[in-house]
């Protein structure tokens, strides 16, 4: 069921978006060579405690997860692209890590993700991140009142396909509100002019993610981490936005 937020409720969601952006900024800055993924999770966990926020991940146990997630941050390294479960691994020079974080502040949720390169970048990794980031920007720009959900999906796909990447539609964007995941599902490929009408008050997370040379994913032995089927690297970008009468409002913007 899709629930539209009032203008006042969207204002009440701003602190959650600001906090999620703040945490991702801090974690991304800390992601250096030799830093343990568990350290990154601890940074996010400490910030949650200090803010009096609530994690959306730690007790999260959907049908596709082997058990409750147990951490507060997703850390997907190299061929991992989604739901990366933090574990005892120290980042190496040239690693690419996607950081995904969602939290509740004052009863409202925001969800966002960013991919960064640790140390020396590979050109192909930088290109993949650039494509994913531009696809997110295009998806946000297409989230206009009076439009259709397919406009967002088509805008995301247009960027990816133009750069030669294929698209998996098993996981994508979603509604956000009192909980992390709600209707509607927003695939990263679709047809413009199709799907539900985009109305002011709709709050969604738009999240393109692409793999370098495949659109097939497999689940890691940890029961959570999703990896590319061919070992190629992946990138992920996400923002929580509200559709307003004046256009899209990014709630999870980072400073």
* Euclidean distance between CA atoms 31 and 34, whole angstroms: 9
54 annotated as belonging to a binding site for a ligand: no
- Confirm or deny that 207 is annotated as ligand binding: yes
- Mapping DSSP to helix (H, G, I), strand (E, B) and coil, where does residue 186 land? strand
d(CA 39, CA 9): 34
Q: How far apart are the first and last CA of the chain?
A: 33
Q: What is the 3-state secondary structure (H, E, C) of 86-108?
A: CCCCECCCCCEEEEEEEEEECCE
Does residue 164 sit in helix, strand or coil?
Answer: coil
215 is in an annotated binding site: no
- Residue 63 CA, chain-centre distance (Å), reads 19
Q: Which residues of 15-47 are buried (b: 16+ CB within 10 A; e: fewer)?
A: bbbbbbbebbebbeeebeeebebbebbbbbbeb
111 annotated to a ligand binding site = yes
Q: Has 83 been labeled as part of a binding site? A: yes
Tell whether residue 61 is among the known ligand binding residues: no
Please count the helices (runs of H) and the strands (runs of E) in the chain. Answer: 4, 14
Eight-state DSSP code of residue 121 = P
C-alpha–C-alpha distance, residues 188 and 35, integer Å: 32
Annotated binding site for substrate: 83, 181
Annotated binding site for a divalent metal cation: 100, 111, 174, 207, 238
Annotated binding site: 83, 100, 111, 174, 181, 207, 238
């Amino acid at each position: 069921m899709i629930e539209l937020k009032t203008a006042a409720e969207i204002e009440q969601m701003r602190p959650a978006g600001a906090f999620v952006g703040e945490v991702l900024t801090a974690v991304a800055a800390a992601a250096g060579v030799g830093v343990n993924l568990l350290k990154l999770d601890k940074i996010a966990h400490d910030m949650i405690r200090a803010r009096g926020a609530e994690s959306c991940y730690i007790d999260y146990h959907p049908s596709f997860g082997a058990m409750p997630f147990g951490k507060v941050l997703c850390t997907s390294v190299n061929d991992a692209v989604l739901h990366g479960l933090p574990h005892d691994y120290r980042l190496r020079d040239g690693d690419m890590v996607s950081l995904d974080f969602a939290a509740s502040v004052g009863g409202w949720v925001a969800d966002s993700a960013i991919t960064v390169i640790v140390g020396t970048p590979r050109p192909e990794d930088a290109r993949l991140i650039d494509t994913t980031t531009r696809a997110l920007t295009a998806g946000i720009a297409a989230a206009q009142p009076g439009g259709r959900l397919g406009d967002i999906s088509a805008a995301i796909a247009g960027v990816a396909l133009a750069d030669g990447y294929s698209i998996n539609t098993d996981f994508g964007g979603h509604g956000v509100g009192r909980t992390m995941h709600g209707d509607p599902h927003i695939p990263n490929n679709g047809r413009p002019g199709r799907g539900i009408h985009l109305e002011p008050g709709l709050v969604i997370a738009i999240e393109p993610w692409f793999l370098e040379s495949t659109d097939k994913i497999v689940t890691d032995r940890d029961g959570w981490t999703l990896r590319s089927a061919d070992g190629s690297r992946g990138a992920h970008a996400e923002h929580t936005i509200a559709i307003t009468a004046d256009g899209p409002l990014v709630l999870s913007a980072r400073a």
